[in-house]
Amino acid sequence: MSDKQELQVREKKELTREGEPTREGPHFTPDVDIFEQDAALVLVADVPGATPDGITLDLQDDVLNLTATVRPVEPRWKPVYTEYEVGHYTRLFRLGQIVDRAKISAQVKEGILTVTLPKVEKALPRKIDVKTED
Per residue in 23-49, pLDDT (tens digit) is 567 888 999 999 999 899 999 999 998
Cα–Cα distance measured from residue 22 to residue 82, given in angstroms and rounded to the nearest whole number: 25
Q: 50, 28, 70, 25: which is closest to 114 by C-alpha?
A: 50
Does some domain include residue 110?
yes
Does some domain include residue 55?
yes
Does some domain include residue 66?
yes
- For residue 8, is pLDDT > 80? no
Residue 88 belongs to domain with CATH number: 2.60.40.790
- For residue 91, is pLDDT > 90? yes
Bridge partners of 114, per DSSP, are: 44, 107
Mapped onto helix, strand or coil, the DSSP state of residue 98 is coil
Does some domain include residue 24?
no
Q: Are 107 and 121 in contact (CB under 8 A)?
A: no
Which residues constitute the domain of residue 40? 31-73+84-123
- For residue 9, is pLDDT > 60? no
- For residue 86, is pLDDT > 50? yes
Work out the pLDDT band at 127, boundaries 50, 70, 90: confident
Q: How many domains does the chain have?
A: 1
Does some domain include residue 18?
no
Does some domain include residue 79?
no
